[in-house]
Structure 1
Amino acid sequence: MRNLTLLTDLYQLTMLNGYFEKNVHEDVVVFDMFFRKNACKSGYTIVCGIEQLVDYINNLQFSEDDLKYLKSLNLFSDKFLDFLRNFKFTGDIYSVEEGTIMFPNEPVITVKAPLYQAQLIETALLTIVNFQSLIATKASKVCYAAQGDPVFEFGLRRAQGPDAGIYGARAAVIGGCKATANVLAGKMFDIPVVGTQAHSWVQKFDSELKSFEAYADVYPDKCLLLVDTYDVLNSGVPNAIKIFKDLKANGHTPLGIRIDSGDLEYLSVEAKKMLEEAGFTNLSITASNDLDEYTISALKSGNCAINSWGVGTKLITSADSPSLGGVYKLAASYQGDKIIPKIKISEDPEKINNPGYKKVVRIYNKENKAEADLIMLHDEEINTSQPLTIFHPTYTWKETTFEDYTIKDLHKPLFVNGECKFKSKPITEIQQYVQDELNTLWDAYRRLTCPKTYKVDLSQELWDLKTNLLGDKVVQK
């Protein structure tokens, strides 16, 4: 893992220097990372990137070269730079498990640490978790549209740089993709890789048929042919059928065809007819060509014959929703053992944060369907033997009471007193966890357009705290 200690905004360091000069840098504080709107216009967001966040924290250390560079900026005293020389994260970080489904305004990650430590990690934490959560959520929507067909991540060449391609592939597989075309991501994260040939392969040979013959000769048991270089129905599919018959006669099983352009619905249906008439009834018909969840949904609704999907640009860039606006806000400060809640007030009510040291519990019905989340102060408890009534944090007359329910505390320790508690899991296990999480959601929350809004309420204690703080701030004005 690279040392990303300087992967931060300059103002983080100028604030650290200021805290140091004012001798408040060791004050213990609480920050929350959360987002105000779901990724990708979805009804939920899949949290991803936690493992990379842990790697970042474990490798936090200012090298002599880092300190030399900071000194050259003429912003920091030698005393402050000497202080940074011994930097080590010693605080607590609590996070939801990687792959957890989360909703707006819920603390995804809570950091309790000395001020200078909690402040420094903000920028890197956000860039790591925001991007991977965005792509995992986009992939989930694409896979949902595919209705069980395998989806392959094909986006490396269109990603915003190598890191986006690598970690985007990881996130896409966590979100539901079966494999990636990205070989380095396959090696790094032990995920399946896929790929056959490009149009240049077909063009290189004297004819399309000769290009297919050459590929089948090299890969007789993994022969999937790209049939749209010249003419899908008058050339590509007939030539593929000739090759497939030869393979079958020699004891090999062809895999199928890929179509990368044209009217995918019409071409796939006609191609399937031709393949079946030739005796090939179970081949893969893979489509690519600038796909996303909406295109796939439309093609599925039109009864296309496509049964696997290669999705690139619009997945790896989340083209219609290119960022997750995760934020990192101060929620509390300590005076000794006493918690002093902090609140940010804005003319935009959406930007007023929930104060205090908090946790999130999820409420499930007896069928294990998620019904609502409750943001609570960290020391509150719920007696599940008693009915639980929650209310909308704005429209407080809107109440829901649960009687036969279970709850789950969503936060788990990543670091306690600087000691890492995180246990890495295989990608396949995280991917299965995501699917288990999604299965707890009603279909209304997973709709591609206009999904239902999931209930996220505040406990009575937290609501009272926030209301009182808002009142105090108004009076102070």
Structure 2
Amino acid sequence: MSDATTTDLYEVTMAMSYLREGMTAPATFSLFVRDLPPERGFLVGAGLESALDHLSGFRVGPDDVEAFASVLHRPPRDLEPLLGLQFTGRVRAVPEGRVVLAGEPLLEVTAPLPEAQLVETYVLNVISHQTAIASKAARCVLAAAGHPVVDFSLRRTHGPQAGFQSARLGALTGFAGTSHVGAATALGIPAVGTMAHSYVEAFPSEEDAFRAFARCHPGPVTLLVDTYDTEEGVRVAARVLRDLDRGPGCAVRLDSGDLKALAARARSILDGAGLPEVRIVASGGLDEYAVDDMVRSGAPVDTYAVGTRVGVSADAPYLDSAYKMVEYGGRPVMKLSSAKVTAPGPKQVFRRPGCADVIALVGERPPDGGSPLLETVMENGRRTAERPTLDECRARCAADLSRLPAAARRTRAPVAPRATASERLDALTARVRQDIAERPRSRRSAPA
């Protein structure tokens, strides 16, 4: 089986029905987030490259048809109309790393209806998950106010693939490194790490452990000092580093307790030992809220290692995202159900200073000071440009974050900018709504 089976069953049943009815005209689907999660002033769009990889390789093969037939309890010949179906459409999307707001399309797919429908689940999954994690990571970077942030999330992310993505998205949003060896190697980002408490416990004493570790690793080392008594651990680490003349580049890591108070005491001990160049790394259940508290308190922490809470976006683990049809066969369509109304027609988003964005129809002229966010990234099922580098995505993200209004950047009680609709989009929405209202009830149903 291929990744074509990574889909919800109803995508298969709808695609089969479309093919039976001859409904293969082009359809446009828009992927957007209806509302931002609480305590979010913005989102960082991510997952596009994973989506494009899936679309460019999407093809329903014989094994996929067998799988579809099996779950539907039907003979394989009934599902043969799907055999060989591949993605041949166009994708317009916001490049990875750009800041996006509620209601703005992150991506629009235009393809023959069965194709556009069958890829929904996979595309919605990767965009939603990675955007959630990237947005959480970006908030950590902002909270750290220039201090390095590193990723320690792998052991508790929701699966190894999610761990890889967490490392990548951390780097995309400005993290300085990751503990994930495979991601560091594959992505060309710094690998960072220290030691576990088990390492210290395996030796007769803390000092034996620190000396053995330093002997094994001739470069800068980071010593975990809170296995027993944290302050005494800092003193032992200072003695070992001073005796071995290993101060520059080295660090001590605090992983539990009152990190603000312990960081201050550790700094005092290290400075008193003549080791002002030895850094302090803080970890242990950190996210942007804890980082913000420590930065604001003036805690002498040099590097923040964030893990579980960021790797799973603990306070906002999902997005209210949707993938909705906005046009079929040249006819604009929309959904009218309560609290889930969608705007019709393929769209463009124009970014203006201060994120005073305008959601418009494709083909509209940009408003004064506006520049388009969505770019054509795939035509005829193939990428239109080379894959951007991680550095390019990182630069894009840093630029957008720097231009966010201060209120949107706040860690607590942020105020998210709100995009507005253009006059033409409002007019089309009103016209389609009226058209739906005036249809005979028996003809109101349409693909959605």
| TM-score (ref. length: structure 2) | 0.94
Q: Does 1:374 align with 2:367?
A: no
Q: Distance in 2 between matches of 1:138 and 1:55?
A: 24
Larger CA deviation: 430-439 vs 181-190:
181-190
Are residues 35 and 418 of structure 1, via their aligned partners in 2, closer, same or farther at CA, if it must alter by over 3 Å?
same
CA drift of 1:406 comes to 2.6
CA drift of 1:346 comes to 1.8
Give, as a single letter, the amino acid of the residue that structure 1 aligns with 2:410: R
Report 1:253-268 matches (<5 A).
253-268=248-263
Match of 2:444 in 1: none
Q: Distance in 2 between matches of 1:254 and 1:72?
A: 59
Q: Distance in 2 between matches of 1:104 and 1:150?
A: 29
Q: Aligned match of 2:341 in 352, 356, 362?
A: 352
Report 1:96-111 matches (<5 A).
96-111=94-109
CA contact (8 A) 2:148 2:175 kept: yes
CA contact (8 A) 1:361 1:375 kept: yes
Are residues 136 and 358 of structure 1, via their aligned partners in 2, closer, same or farther at CA, if it must alter by over 3 Å?
same
CA contact (8 A) 2:260 2:299 kept: yes
Report 1:180-329 matches (<5 A).
180-233=178-231, 235-248=232-245, 253-329=248-324
CA contact (8 A) 1:196 1:224 kept: yes
Q: Distance in 1 between matches of 2:382 and 2:104?
A: 25
Q: Distance in 2 between matches of 1:461 and 1:179?
A: 46
Q: Distance in 1 between matches of 2:80 and 2:437?
A: 42
Q: Distance in 2 between matches of 1:372 and 1:173?
A: 27
| TM-score (ref. length: structure 1) | 0.88
CA drift of 1:75 comes to 5.1
CA contact (8 A) 1:220 1:247 kept: no
Q: Does 1:116 align with 2:114?
A: yes
Are residues 223 and 371 of structure 1, via their aligned partners in 2, closer, same or farther at CA, if it must alter by over 3 Å?
closer
Q: Aligned match of 2:123 in 122, 125, 132?
A: 125
CA contact (8 A) 1:17 1:80 kept: no
Give, as a single letter, the amino acid of the residue that structure 2 aligns with 1:432: A
Match of 2:165 in 1: 167
Are residues 177 and 3 of structure 1, via their aligned partners in 2, closer, same or farther at CA, if it must alter by over 3 Å?
farther
Q: Mark the runs of 5 or more structure 2 residues left unpaired by the alignment.
A: 442-448
Are residues 345 and 221 of structure 1, via their aligned partners in 2, closer, same or farther at CA, if it must alter by over 3 Å?
same
Cα RMSD after superposing both structures: 1.8
Give, as a single letter, the amino acid of the residue that structure 2 aligns with 1:379: G
Are residues 453 and 9 of structure 1, via their aligned partners in 2, closer, same or farther at CA, if it must alter by over 3 Å?
same
Give, as a single letter, the amino acid of the residue that structure 1 aligns with 2:347: K
Q: Mark the runs of 5 or more structure 1 residues left unpaired by the alignment.
A: 365-369, 383-387, 389-404
CA drift of 1:17 comes to 0.8
1:387-440 alpha-carbon deviations (Å, 9 max, x no partner):
x5xxxxxxxxxxxxxxxx532111111211223214212222211210011112
1:337-366 alpha-carbon deviations (Å, 9 max, x no partner):
xx2110101222xx11110121111123xx
SS of 2:138 mapped into structure 1: helix
Match of 2:137 in 1: 139
Q: Does 1:425 align with 2:388?
A: yes
Q: Aligned match of 1:462 in 418, 425, 436?
A: 425
